[in-house]
A and B are shown apart, each in its own frame.
Chain A
Amino acid sequence: MKWTFENGIPIYLQILGRLRTEIASGAYPPGVKLPAVRELALEAGVNPNTMQRAFAELERDGLVYTQRTSGRFVTEDAEVLKNLRKTLSEDVIEEMCTRLMHLGMSREEILSAVQEWAGEASGKAKNM
């Protein structure tokens, strides 16, 4: 997928967000080797130092680890990955709820709308 960047947000944070999502979703599965900084910088069309900074943050958060000679790998720690999904999903929920409240919905209305959606979604899944 092509890399695009939004205005006004540091580019390393946008890269970090994308890589975190790719790790959470399993696009980069546990234990897999990440591309080299230089390679990914070239693909994304960004400065290698910016990519390096995003990688350093991933490493600090324990999402990737470095093996001295062979490169960087995605963590295999299920707990860390679970926490990552939780953090990312909280962001999505917060954003969604904020937008729904802007539309004038109350907390109760949002909750029942989500339940309704989940019911419909599982109904659709059964019919598939």
Chain B
Amino acid sequence: MAVLECRHLTKRYGKLTALDNIDLLLEPGRIIGLVGPNGSGKTTLIKLAQHLLTPTDGEILIDGIRPGAQTKAIVSYLPDRDFLPAWMDVESLLRFYEDFYEDFDMNKAMQMLQALNIEPRRPFKALSKGTKEKVQLIMTMSRGAKVYLLDEPIAGVDPAARDYILRTIIGNYSENALVLISTHLIADVEPVLDEVIFLKQGHVELHENTDALRERTGMSVDNYFREVYRC
């Protein structure tokens, strides 16, 4: 059964249509890439799933219900920008999450921090960009959620940090959970994905298994993307 479903989902901002009549069925046990150029609707889709926006038309369902307080308990969301109170130290941030989310695994998070030699008493704002991203990812992935929404988790970090983030996503794989990753760095993420969704001007241009796409086109997903979106 699909854990994230869109039925005729439409979102308009005034005259601008960000998502236009989208249908999607995303199943648990998959790591799915959400790709498309800037302004194609990736973040809008993720924000609709997280109830930060409401549909203009159609609906989006998480585990069969409309987004709200109930779905936030089973959705772990990593926004595309810093979202944590920066004055807090890392350990306090983890405690904050532990208080907030029933499914947060404090031991797991602390172990991951230790493995990276991140000092738990350092304030978040004193960390480098790469380390901030890692801490945010650790917090997001330390929840036992049914759906993980990762909005640009590897943008703007160095290749080693990128590698760490992708391995953390693989290491946390669960056959009961869906991981949806929005990105424009397709080449890096490609081997990690089961499926890929191409968004183009608010439409689903393509939704396919990544290996099937490679076989069908004789191209990497990244190369095929460049072909489809050639300017």
User: Which A residues are closer than 8 A to B by beta carbons?
Assistant: 5, 7-13, 38, 41-42, 44-50, 53
Contacts and interface: CB of A to CB of B under 8 A. Distances in A.
Nearest to B29: A49
A28 to B, nearest CB: 21
B211 A41 contact: no
Contacts of A8: 214, 217-220, 223
B31 interface: yes
Task: Name B's interface SS.
Answer: helix
A48 B214 CA distance: 18
B219 A7 contact: yes
A7 B194 contact: no
Contacts of B218: 8
B118 interface: no
A39 to B, nearest CB: 10
Interface residues of B, number: 24
Interface of B: 29-31, 163, 166-167, 170-171, 173, 191-194, 210-212, 214-215, 217-220, 222-223
Contacts of A53: 211
A14 to B, nearest CB: 10
Task: Name A's interface SS.
Answer: helix
Contact of B191 (A13, A38, A46): A46
Nearest to B168: A42
B211 A7 contact: no
Nearest to A39: B171
Nearest to B163: A45
B191 A11 contact: yes
Given A46-B191, A48-B173, A7 B166 contact: no
A9 B30 contact: no
B210 A11 contact: yes
Contacts of B31: 47, 49
B226 to A, nearest CB: 11
A45 B30 CA distance: 15
B173 A12 contact: no
Contacts of B192: 45-47
B196 to A, nearest CB: 11
B211 A12 contact: yes
B103 to A, nearest CB: 21
